């Protein structure tokens, strides 16, 4: 930086001196191995003029004889070389030590110098993305970016991920950022079934090896130019382009690896009591409320065909864990990349294959992906450049559903503690199938369930772009870009029929296996969705003395559409395995869904730079949307940012090497979902209580329609997000120490919301604009290189962010100014989560115990707590208090050890797994008082109005009150017993890699060879009170990203992955 | 360059001009347009939603609250109902379905048929709307009415039950004044291919039922004099199929496996069994109501056994802790959903004449009611005679006679209506000397020998706030209203009767 300052002064002086121009040429090489470096930018400092080196690293440029050349290349330090009248200048570039990214790809694929940006933008480089070795690249960001929360919906293969940038802005809409690949927005296509969300397209189909960098634009000012869809931030992905190899104009790279997946977080189970109910041994119970385990030999299960099973009545501590196996996964990718001899053309071709096998036995949870990418640029004439990108992806996934019923996870968690699951593998034995399974209470052998339930997704995606850049004259570039993304999927879900007649059952102990009978079904769901974008851009940039001017004008035309068809059939002829619609004997439901929306946007962006010290950017955009009422379908939003590089004004010193102050203000508008501007009819149906859509038209040859439950609005207006952001970025000691702090205050007003309303209005929900949500907070990033020698380097990065989320207003009339986000209710239990005015989004409400004025628990005559009749505020919220991350890497001569820690602190979530542990008596919490009778401590019973006496009624097993104490009264916590602390600290990744020295691999005709051993999610620390699940898990994915924060319902356990990877470059 | 700028300007101008058309695509391709939807297309869905809520959820809850149903051993889906409990969330879905699907869409038919002066269809929609509103008043007491169905008012006020009854009767009067028997009516399941005459009978009968609930015999007189009541039971029948989403709803919910549920919950209550099949001290059957075989199946040992309210017997001894010990309601995929039966009208007439002091006509209608009940169940006059011999009419105890017999008559066809009438007539009455906990100790055996036919008893485990010897008189206002409408009144308490039960 000091050099830059020095040179700038020199250049400014030079400018005044009217120096004579000379032709300078030379060669740029890498200081690392002396190889020539193509595509190095060679600029004449202070002029904006520049050339790039050719394939052999050679350049030639006209420059004032007293001028200065700046050589720059991504990942290398700039070399600033005064010409001093020379005509030949050769430079050796040093690999990068400055940590700030010099170039940031911003709105509409326009790259900008980092210094000119007045808002927070974080770029993650290829190495870091590849190091994380996640099949879905979104997960590679976890823990690395301040203010960004990456939440994988589960660790199952193929699971989708949610990314939340600077908190939740929308209650009912999406809070997901926009993904833009090489200037082209991608759809985020996700399949929801069996309480699972599986990625079908979008970012999940991009091979991590194809990515050059990912930039996260967080603020409204940064995102205004992307329009409506960027209101929640933008993830900009830049892919790799054609590159020369060492000593030749192409290179071939291979990367491949092997991973092993293993269960990590698991509920803590008790090992003292066995199968039974209310303290008595029963032979068919789905839980461990029986007597203490004593090692005696006992029968269990029904008597079938004069046979009954026996076992030793003692704990099988790892019985549930034993069910899972190691998932063996592998990935390979190969790429060919190069530049034509005349350097006019670049090309990049890659193929990748990933196979992820999960922790379920056999191959029932499997994700396979093949991708092919081809990218090319061609400089057809001096004024004409063509670029294109074509990407094909195919992903297949088999999912193990987690919902209740004959599901795997329910079957595992309700399994008595005294039996071995592993011994139930043989499905040719009647005792291991529903016919004579050890319990008929709604669960069955998990091995049977996994073999007989089917959930398969098969998706194909094509995306890419075609782009023409025209330079009609110097400083002006006209661009047309057509971007497209087409995703197509086939999904089949099969649920087996169980049709037992109990013919061979002699004794069922009161509940016959035929109670498990179910009709089974097949669902076939085919769909496709596409998005096209036409961008017209005019980009003018001009350097005028101290002033840099850049103007971008553009128009974007966007269309998004989807079509889907679903067929369903019941009462299967073949009980299992034949998953075709012809298998149903009674009914075939057919449904279709279509949606199309369009958006036209016109925008302008003006950049002014003064002396490399002050940068001002002004943006404005107007959108016209098809989803808004036709007479009021357009909206305007402006933005402005200021960046002040004060270090460029200061006297040069050894301490402060970079200092920048940022200020940004921006607005982003967001339109409505499609078809929300009017009421609509749906085909008639009626709901039963547990059996939804118990009646569905056509019925008996008659068709009928009814008004839909949600009323559209003819006066919807767009949501507006306004954000003010300020930040300071300082670097010291040539980048050895740097920090960046950002404060932001974001408000989203006029939220478009499907407001739940009293059905007496005639509707359950109404689309309307109301209320506002605020997110304000700060992000802090600290980067430190405590040790740096020629051989050894140690880097540490900390990031910390705190977001205060608050519902600023909700409409009057809503009960207490709150509106429901999600809920769980079963029997007398109910947990609700609300958006409530004045509180963070996602406040938990449930039935709570009641207390006397002096704090004693009020119980009934049965000795159990009396819970409130209505749900009450628990004072607990879904929101984390703060999040942070630590990254560290140690490198010594090509050996690098690195690790990422991701921390989220505070907040609560709903956990059905926790509840299930008490319901079944399998969880450790059910060992309270060794299951001996007890009287609830400090409890009183009301004997007359307001008169309380000490409670003496005991809770004990034999009358079922002990179990009820847990199941109906939440162990004196009411519904709060369902909640768990969602805090965690998770090591996302530890990796050890070795990069072979160039000299060692030269004989092998390789230019690069590295090997990496790694472990993803090796450790998770959870709150002390959470003995159940990995709190990152959600299973309400189809309730939207905010709704999914509610918690988990029978989620599969989390896992960790060990792996080894090799990278070769020829 | 100039050319380029010019060309761009032209393109932009053309683009903007066609923009309006380009963006005018916001009509949902999956929904028919409002103007194309006719009353023929809506009425069957209104009927179906009413039949599903009434014939499934209200049937189940009404059955538990009037001790026609008890809970099966081992499962717990409805144990709270059998303990006479109701929460705001439990009934929320039914409230929503009645308002959003039945009442709103009936209102749409009313508006469309009024515009077309199609008074037959108009009457049909008003009648169904009245039926749904009445059912809501009968459980909640108060609901939004005058300010309901107005999307501009998100917080409609609650009206008093009596005012809603009066308002609904005025609506029926208005519709009846416009309709003539020969007028056509839109496509319907209830009265297929019929003219308005059947709907006029239904509307008259419904109005009569409401007036009798109100105790307004003076107004009812004109209806009695006109005597144009239903001559056949009003029921949804003949439209059910043995397929998923096509079965009669109670069967679909509780018996069929097509909906994905494997739970068995509803079994007979010892009260209804003990009343319909009476035994002497030696355990010999001394009386059996002929309708028993139509209402309940026998258990594994071919006996009639009724379980106790308030528990799922999870800690009982054998054979009480087995599922096949208990009798279940007779149910089939094509069982009708009864909205109103001839027998009920006859019972109301008996009550009307008893109040009017005409004991002979009261007795005649009482007998007619029991005969009609037998006819509904496919039984003969001789069967009615058996019942009448055991339960002859006594005008001095008309409420008790009618109350008990109505409870029995409705037990197999419409337990919800039984629940309403038990609350209104206070018969069958509680046997205050016998509680559930006297018959079952929480473990061991169930002993029903002390049960007195024609009585109710406090459930083994009863909602503490309700207390002993009481029926659950009203339900908490539904959660879907409570949480979204700040005009929801303060709950009056589980033991506060609906206005007609005061």
Res A151: pLDDT:
75
Neighbours of B431 (CB within 10 A): 18
Q: Does B31 touch chain A (CB under 8 A)?
A: yes
Could you tell me the strand order of the sheet in which A1047-1048 lies?
Answer: A979-981, A908-911, A1047-1048
Residue of chain A whose Cα is closest to the Cα of B96? A759
Q: What is the DSSP letter of A226?
A: G
Q: What is the pLDDT of residues A773-813, one digit of tens each?
A: 999 999 999 999 999 888 899 999 999 999 999 999 887 65
C-alpha to C-alpha distance for B284 and A197, rounded to whole angstroms: 62
Cross-chain Cβ contact B53/A762 below 8 Å: no
Q: What is the pLDDT of residues A374-422, one digit of tens each?
A: 999 999 999 999 999 999 999 999 988 766 566 788 899 999 999 999 9
Which residues of B are less than 8 Å from A439 in CB distance?
Answer: none
Closest CA to A82 of A19, A160, A124, A155: A19
Which residues of B are less than 8 Å from A278 in CB distance?
Answer: 314-315
Q: Enumerate helices (H) and strands (E) in chain B, giving the number of each.
A: 21, 10
C-alpha to C-alpha distance for A898 and B182, rounded to whole angstroms: 87
| CB-CB contact of A284 with A434 (8 Å) | no
Cross-chain Cβ contact B245/A696 below 8 Å: yes
Res A13: pLDDT:
39
* Predicted confidence (pLDDT) at residue A816 exceeds the cutoff of 80: no
| CB-CB contact of A656 with A731 (8 Å) | yes
Closest CA to A665 of A270, A322, A220: A220
Q: Does B318 touch chain A (CB under 8 A)?
A: yes
What is the number of alpha carbons within 13 Å of residue A896 lying toward its C-beta?
20
What 3-state class would DSSP assign to B223?
A: helix
C-alpha to C-alpha distance for B199 and B194, rounded to whole angstroms: 9
C-alpha to C-alpha distance for A1051 and A401, rounded to whole angstroms: 9
For A967-1005, give one letter per residue: b (16+ CB within 10 A) or e. bbbbbbbbbbbbbbbbbbbbbbbbbebebbebeebeeee
C-alpha to C-alpha distance for A234 and A250, rounded to whole angstroms: 33
C-alpha to C-alpha distance for A376 and A336, rounded to whole angstroms: 12
Closest CA to B154 of A757, A233, A752: A757
Q: What is the pLDDT of residues A471-530, one digit of tens each?
A: 998 889 999 999 999 999 999 999 999 999 888 999 888 888 988 888 888 999 999 999
C-alpha to C-alpha distance for B336 and B294, rounded to whole angstroms: 13
Q: What is the DSSP letter of A498?
A: B
* Predicted confidence (pLDDT) at residue A1038 exceeds the cutoff of 80: no
Here the tokens at position A1019 are: 């450790």
Closest CA to B212 of B473, B501, B414, B426: B501
Q: Which of residues 296-315 of B touch A (CB under 8 A)?
A: 314-315
Q: Does A957 touch chain B (CB under 8 A)?
A: no
Here the tokens at position B344 are: 């009920």
Burial of residue B429 (number of CB atoms within 10 Å: 0-12, 13-18, 19+)? middle
* Predicted confidence (pLDDT) at residue A343 exceeds the cutoff of 80: yes
Q: How far is A114 from chain B (nearest CA, A)?
A: 32
Q: What is the pLDDT of residues B302-351, one digit of tens each?
A: 999 999 999 999 888 889 988 889 999 999 999 999 999 999 999 999 99
As for the ipTM of the complex, it is: 0.93
CA A396 from chain centre, in angstroms, equals: 19
Res A662: pLDDT:
92
C-alpha to C-alpha distance for A866 and A868, rounded to whole angstroms: 7
For B56-87, give one letter per residue: b (16+ CB within 10 A) or e. bbbbbbbbbbbbbbbbbbbbbbbbbbbbbbbb
| CB-CB contact of A662 with A119 (8 Å) | yes
Which of B56, B257, B484 lies nearest to residue A688, judging by beta carbons?
B56
Query: Could you write out the three-class secondary structure of A347-382?
Result: EEEEEEEEEEECCCCCCCCEEEEEEEEEEEEEEEEC
Question: Based on C-alpha coordinates, what's the Rg of chain A?
Answer: 32
Q: How far is B191 from chain A (nearest CA, A)?
A: 14
Sign of the alpha-carbon torsion through B2, B3, B5, B9 = positive
* Predicted confidence (pLDDT) at residue A79 exceeds the cutoff of 90: no
| Mean pLDDT, chain A, whole residue set | 87
Helix axes B104-115 and B39-52, enclosed angle (nearest 10): 150
Q: Are strands A872-877 and A843-846 parallel, antiparallel or unpaired?
A: antiparallel
Q: Does A506 touch chain B (CB under 8 A)?
A: no
| pLDDT top residue among A188 and A1057 | A1057
Q: What is the pLDDT of residues A427-456, one digit of tens each?
A: 999 999 999 999 988 888 999 999 999 999
Which of A555, A694, A816 lies nearest to residue B56, judging by beta carbons?
A694
pLDDT band at A15 (very low <50, low <70, confident <90, very high): very low
Q: How far is A806 from chain B (nearest CA, A)?
A: 20
Res B11: pLDDT:
63
Q: What is the pLDDT of residues A656-692, one digit of tens each?
A: 888 999 999 999 888 888 998 877 899 999 999 988 8
Cross-chain Cβ contact B56/A689 below 8 Å: yes
Helix axes B104-115 and B119-140, enclosed angle (nearest 10): 160
What 3-state class would DSSP assign to A108?
A: helix
Which of B15, B187, B243 lies nearest to residue A702, judging by beta carbons?
B187
Residue of chain A whose Cα is closest to the Cα of B93? A689
Q: How far is A516 from chain B (nearest CA, A)?
A: 6
Q: Does B245 touch chain A (CB under 8 A)?
A: yes
Here the tokens at position A908 are: 């609560």
| CB-CB contact of B457 with B439 (8 Å) | yes
Question: Where does residue A308 fall: left (phi above 0), alpha (psi -120 to 50 degrees), or beta otherwise?
Answer: beta
| CB-CB contact of B185 with B121 (8 Å) | yes
Helix axes B398-411 and B342-356, enclosed angle (nearest 10): 180
Q: Which of residues 909-938 of A touch B (CB under 8 A)?
A: none
Q: What is the pLDDT of residues A230-271, one digit of tens each?
A: 888 888 888 988 887 777 889 999 999 999 999 988 899 999
Which of A495, A675, A960 lies nearest to residue B314, judging by beta carbons?
A960
Which residues of A are less than 8 Å from B77 in CB distance?
Answer: 690, 827
pLDDT band at A815 (very low <50, low <70, confident <90, very high): low
C-alpha to C-alpha distance for B474 and B472, rounded to whole angstroms: 6
Q: Does B146 touch chain A (CB under 8 A)?
A: no
| CB-CB contact of A185 with A225 (8 Å) | no
Q: Does A75 touch chain B (CB under 8 A)?
A: no
pTM tops 0.80: yes
Q: What's the rounded mean pLDDT across residues A809-819?
A: 71
Q: Does B28 touch chain A (CB under 8 A)?
A: yes
The total number of residues shown for chain B amounts to 502
Query: Could you write out the three-class secondary structure of A682-750?
Result: EECEECCCCCCCCEECCECCECCEEECCEECCCCCCCEEEEEEEEEEEEEEHHHCEEEEEEEEEEEEEE
Q: Does A597 touch chain B (CB under 8 A)?
A: yes
C-alpha to C-alpha distance for B99 and B133, rounded to whole angstroms: 8
Res B1: pLDDT:
52
Q: Does A511 touch chain B (CB under 8 A)?
A: yes
Q: How far is A871 from chain B (nearest CA, A)?
A: 10
| CB-CB contact of A72 with A41 (8 Å) | yes
Q: What's the rounded mean pLDDT across residues A284-302?
A: 93
Spans of chain B below 70 pLDDT: 1-18, 260-262
C-alpha to C-alpha distance for A771 and A749, rounded to whole angstroms: 6
For chain B, give the longest Cα–Cα distance: 113
| pLDDT top residue among A296 and A22 | A296
| pLDDT top residue among A173 and A476 | A476
Question: Based on C-alpha coordinates, what's the Rg of chain B?
Answer: 26
Q: What's the rounded mean pLDDT across residues A578-607?
A: 89
A and B: number of Cβ contacts within 8 A = 312
Closest CA to A867 of A897, A847, A892, A895: A847
* Predicted confidence (pLDDT) at residue A558 exceeds the cutoff of 90: yes
Closest CA to A935 of A886, A997, A831, A864: A864
């Amino acid at each position: 930086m000091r050099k830059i300052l020095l040179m700038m002064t020199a250049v400014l002086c030079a400018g005044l001196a009217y120096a004579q121009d000379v032709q300078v040429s030379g060669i740029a090489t890498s200081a690392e191995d002396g190889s020539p470096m193509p595509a190095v930018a060679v600029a004449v400092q202070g002029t904006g003029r520049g050339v790039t080196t050719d394939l052999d690293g050679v350049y030639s440029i006209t420059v004032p004889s007293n001028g200065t050349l700046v050589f720059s290349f991504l990942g290398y330090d700039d070399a600033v070389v005064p010409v001093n009248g020379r005509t030949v200048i050769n430079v050796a570039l040093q690999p990068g030590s400055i940590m700030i990214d010099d170039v940031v790809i911003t709105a509409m694929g326009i790259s900008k110098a980092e210094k000119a940006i007045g808002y927070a933008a974080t770029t993650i480089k290829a190495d870091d993305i590849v190091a994380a070795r996640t099949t879905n690249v979104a997960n590679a960001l976890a823990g690395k970016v301040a203010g960004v929360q990456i939440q994988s919906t589960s660790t199952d293969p193929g699971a989708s991920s949610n990314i939340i940038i600077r908190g939740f802005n929308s209650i009912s809409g999406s809070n997901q950022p926009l993904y833009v690949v090489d200037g082209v927005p991608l759809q985020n296509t996700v399949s929801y079934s069996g309480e699972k969300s599986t990625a079908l397209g979008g970012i999940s189909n991009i091979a991590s090896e194809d990515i050059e960098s990912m930039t996260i634009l967080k603020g409204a000012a940064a995102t205004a130019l992307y329009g409506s869809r960027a209101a929640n931030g933008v993830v900009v992905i830049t892919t790799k382009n054609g590159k020369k190899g060492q000593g030749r104009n192409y290179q071939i790279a291979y990367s491949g690896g092997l991973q092993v997946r293993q269960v990590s977080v698991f509920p803590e189970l008790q090992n003292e009591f066995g199968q039974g109910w209310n303290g008595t041994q029963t032979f068919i119970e789905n839980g461990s409320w029986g007597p203490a385990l004593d090692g005696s030999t006992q029968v269990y299960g029904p008597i079938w065909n004069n046979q009954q099973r026996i076992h030793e009545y003692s704990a099988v501590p790892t019985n549930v864990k034993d069910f899972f196996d190691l998932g063996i996964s592998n990935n390979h990718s190969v790429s060919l990349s190069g530049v034509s001899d005349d350097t006019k053309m670049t090309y990049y071709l890659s193929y990748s294959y990933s196979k992820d096998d999960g922790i379920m036995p056999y191959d029932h949870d499997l994700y396979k992906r093949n991708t092919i990418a081809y990218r090319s640029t061609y400089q057809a004439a001096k004024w004409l450049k063509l670029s294109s990108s074509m990407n094909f992806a195919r992903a297949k996934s088999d999912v193990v559903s987690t919902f209740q019923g004959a599901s795997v996870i329910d079957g595992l968690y309700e399994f008595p503690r005294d039996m071995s699951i592993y011994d139930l593998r043989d499905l040719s034995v009647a005792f291991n199938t529903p016919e004579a399974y050890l319990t008929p209470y709604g669960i069955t052998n998990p091995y049977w369930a996994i073999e007989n339930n089917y959930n398969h997704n098969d998706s194909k995606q094509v995306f890419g772009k075609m782009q023409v850049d025209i330079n009609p004259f110097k400083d002006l570039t006209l661009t047309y870009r057509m971007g497209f993304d087409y995703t197509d999927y086939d999904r089949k879900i099969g649920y087996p029929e169980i049709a037992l007649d109990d013919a061979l059952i002699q004794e069922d102990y009161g509940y016959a296996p035929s109670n498990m009978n179910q009709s089974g079904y097949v669902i076939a769901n085919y769909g496709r969705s596409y998005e096209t974008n036409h961008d017209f851009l005019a980009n003018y940039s001009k350097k005028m003395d101290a002033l840099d001017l850049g103007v971008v004008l553009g128009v974007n035309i966007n269309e998004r559409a989807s079509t889907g068809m679903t067929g369903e059939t019941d009462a299967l002829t073949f009980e299992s395995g034949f998953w075709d619609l012809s298998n149903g004997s009674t009914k075939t439901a057919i449904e279709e869904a279509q949606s199309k929306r369009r958006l036209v946007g016109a925008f302008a962006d003006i950049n002014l730079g003064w002396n490399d010290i002050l940068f001002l950017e002004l943006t404005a955009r107007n959108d016209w949307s098809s989803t808004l009422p036709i007479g009021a379908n357009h909206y305007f939003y402006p933005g402005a940012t200021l960046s002040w590089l004060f270090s460029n004004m200061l006297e040069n010193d050894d301490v402060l090497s970079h200092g920048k102050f940022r200020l940004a203000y921006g607005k982003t508008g967001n339109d409505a979902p499609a078809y929300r501007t009017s009421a609509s009819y749906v085909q008639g149906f009626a709901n039963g209580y547990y059996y939804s859509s118990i009646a569905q038209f056509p019925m008996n040859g008659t068709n009928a329609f009814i008004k839909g439950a949600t009323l559209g609005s003819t006066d919807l207006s767009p949501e507006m997000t306004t954000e003010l952001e300020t930040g300071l970025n300082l670097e010291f000691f040539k980048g050895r120490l740097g920090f960046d702090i950002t404060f932001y205050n974001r408000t989203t007003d006029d939220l478009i919301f499907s407001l739940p309303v009293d059905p007496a209005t005639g509707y359950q929900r109404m689309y309307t604009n109301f209320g506002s949500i605020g997110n304000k907070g700060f992000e802090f990033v600290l980067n430190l290189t405590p040790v740096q020698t020629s051989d050894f380097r140690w880097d540490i990065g900390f990031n910390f962010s705190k977001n205060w989320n608050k519902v600023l207003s909700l409409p009057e009339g809503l009960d207490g100014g709150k509106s429901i986000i999600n809920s769980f209710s079963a029997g007398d239990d109910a947990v609700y989560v609300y958006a409530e005015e004045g509180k963070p989004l996602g406040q938990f409400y449930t039935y709570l115990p009641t207390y006397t004025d002096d704090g004693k628990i009020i119980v009934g005559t049965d000795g159990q707590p009396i819970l409130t009749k209505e749900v009450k505020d628990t004072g607990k919220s879904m929101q984390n208090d703060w999040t942070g991350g630590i990254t560290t890497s140690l490198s010594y001569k090509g050996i690098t050890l690195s690790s990422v820690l991701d921390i989220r602190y505070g907040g609560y979530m709903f956990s059905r797994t926790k509840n299930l542990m008490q319901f079944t008596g399998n969880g450790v919490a059910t060992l309270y008082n060794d299951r001996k009778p007890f009287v609830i401590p400090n409890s009183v019973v009301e004997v007359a109005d307001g008169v309380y006496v000490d409670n003496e009624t005991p809770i004990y097993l034999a009358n079922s009150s002990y179990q009820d104490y847990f199941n109906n009264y939440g162990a004196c916590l009411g519904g709060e017993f369902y909640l768990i602390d969602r805090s965690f600290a998770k090591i996302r990744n530890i990796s050890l890699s070795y990069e072979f020295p160039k000299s060692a691999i030269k004989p092998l005709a390789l230019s690069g060879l590295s090997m990496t051993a790694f472990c993803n999610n090796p450790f998770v620390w959870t709150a002390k009170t959470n003995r159940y699940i990995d709190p990152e898990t959600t299973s309400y994915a189809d309730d939207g990203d905010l709704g999914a924060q509610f918690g988990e319902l029978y989620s599969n356990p989390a896992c960790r992955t060990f792996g080894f990877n090799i990278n070769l470059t020829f | 360059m100039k050319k380029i700028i010019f060309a761009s300007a032209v393109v932009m101008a053309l683009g903007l001009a066609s923009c309006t058309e380009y963006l005018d695509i916001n009509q949902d391709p999956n929904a028919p347009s409002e103007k194309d939807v006719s009353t023929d297309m809506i009425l069957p869905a209104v009927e179906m939603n009413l039949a599903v809520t009434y014939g499934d959820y209200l049937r189940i809850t009404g059955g538990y609250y009037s001790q026609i149903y008890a809970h099966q051993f081992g499962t717990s889906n409805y144990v709270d109902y059998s303990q006479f409990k109701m929460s705001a969330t439990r009934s929320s879905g039914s409230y929503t379905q009645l308002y959003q699907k039945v009442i709103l869409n009936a209102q749409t038919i009313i508006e469309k048929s009024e515009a077309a002066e199609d008074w037959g269809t108009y009457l049909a929609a008003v009648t169904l709307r009245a039926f749904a509103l009445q059912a809501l008043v009968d459980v909640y007491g108060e609901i939004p009415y005058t300010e309901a169905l107005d999307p501009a008012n998100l917080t409609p006020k609650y009206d008093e039950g009596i005012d809603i009854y009066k308002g609904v009767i005025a609506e029926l009067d208005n519709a009846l004044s416009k309709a003539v028997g020969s007028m056509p009516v839109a496509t319907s399941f209830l009265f297929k291919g019929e003219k308005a005459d059947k709907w006029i009978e239904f509307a008259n009968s419904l109005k009569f039922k409401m007036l009798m609930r109100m105790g307004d015999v003076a107004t009812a007189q004109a209806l009695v004099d006109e005597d144009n009541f239903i001559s056949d039971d009003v029921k949804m029948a003949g439209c059910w199929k043995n397929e998923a989403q096509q079965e009669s709803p109670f069967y679909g919910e509780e018996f069929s496996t097509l909906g994905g549920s494997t739970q068995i919950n509803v079994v007979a209550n010892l009260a209804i069994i003990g009343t319909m099949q009476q035994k002497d001290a030696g355990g010999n059957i001394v009386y059996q109501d002929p309708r028993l075989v139509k209402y309940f199946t026998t258990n594994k040992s071919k006996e009639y056994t009724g379980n106790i309210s308030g528990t799922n017997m999870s800690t009982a001894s054998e054979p009480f802790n087995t599922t096949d010990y208990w009798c279940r309601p007779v149910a089939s995929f094509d069982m009708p959903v009864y909205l109103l039966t001839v027998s009920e009208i006859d019972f109301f007439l008996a009550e009307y004449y008893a109040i009017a002091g005409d004991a002979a006509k009261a007795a005649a209608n009482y007998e007619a009611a029991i005969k009609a009940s037998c006819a509904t169940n496919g039984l003969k006059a001789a069967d009615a005679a058996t019942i009448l011999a055991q339960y002859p009419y006594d005008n001095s105890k008309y409420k008790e006679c009618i109350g008990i017999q109505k409870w029995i008559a409705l037990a197999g066809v419409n337990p919800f209506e039984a629940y309403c009438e038990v609350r209104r007539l206070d018969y069958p009455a509680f046997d205050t000397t016998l509680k559930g906990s006297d018959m079952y100790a929480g473990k061991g055996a169930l002993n029903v020998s002390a049960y007195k036919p024609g009585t109710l008893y406090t459930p083994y485990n009863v909602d503490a706030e309700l207390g002993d010897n009481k029926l659950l008189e009203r339900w908490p206002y539904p959660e879907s209203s409570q949480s979204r409408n700040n005009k929801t009144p303060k709950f009056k308490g589980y033991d506060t009767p609906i206005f007609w039960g005061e």
